[in-house]
Amino acid sequence: MKAKTIVELAALTSSFYSITKDKEMREDIVAMIMKGKETFSKTFSSLSDKDEAESIELIIGKLFMKAQQIKEEVEHKIEEVAEKVYHKMHIANIHEIENLQKQIQELQSQIENSKTNK
């Protein structure tokens, strides 16, 4: 196995571990599931006395809208968790690298200026 693959596997494993240990995320997921069950039950109970064809179309439309909302919420939550994981693992992001490069350049120019002033 190549070293790059091993590093990627280790990073993925640590990410999954961090996600599974995030109690707040699990509680949010359980809350979303419960809210979804309640909404789904309300939708079906309110449509029981309407025409069957119309109610099926309405249910499908509502399901697609709800699926889109859930997708957006999950993507947002994944971004938050990934940010937390990177922060916990102290992985430098591109902005930190750029800032460090600027600091190195500034220090190098200061060193060069101090050498020329001697």
* Residue in 10, 5, 21 with CA at minimum distance from that of residue 81: 21
Q: Given this model, what pLDDT does residue 49 score?
A: 55
Global confidence as pTM: 0.37
Q: Given this model, what pLDDT does residue 107 score?
A: 92
Domain membership flag for residue 98: no
Angle at 79 between CA 75 and CA 83, to 5 degrees: 170
Domain membership flag for residue 97: no
Domain membership flag for residue 118: no
Domain membership flag for residue 58: yes
DSSP string, 22-36: -HHHHHHHHHHHHHH
How many structural domains are present in the chain? 1
Domain membership flag for residue 102: no
Per-residue pLDDT of the chain (118 residues; tens, 9 = 90+): 455 666 677 777 777 777 667 777 777 778 888 888 787 777 666 655 556 656 777 777 888 888 888 888 888 888 888 777 776 666 656 777 788 899 999 999 998 888 887 6
Domain membership flag for residue 109: no
Domain membership flag for residue 83: yes
Please say whether the beta carbons of 85 and 19 come within 8 A. yes
Q: 52 to each of 21, 48, 49, 97, how far by Cα in Å?
A: 45, 8, 8, 59
Domain membership flag for residue 73: yes
Domain that holds residue 79: 3-92
Q: Given this model, what pLDDT does residue 1 score?
A: 47
Q: Given this model, what pLDDT does residue 106 score?
A: 94
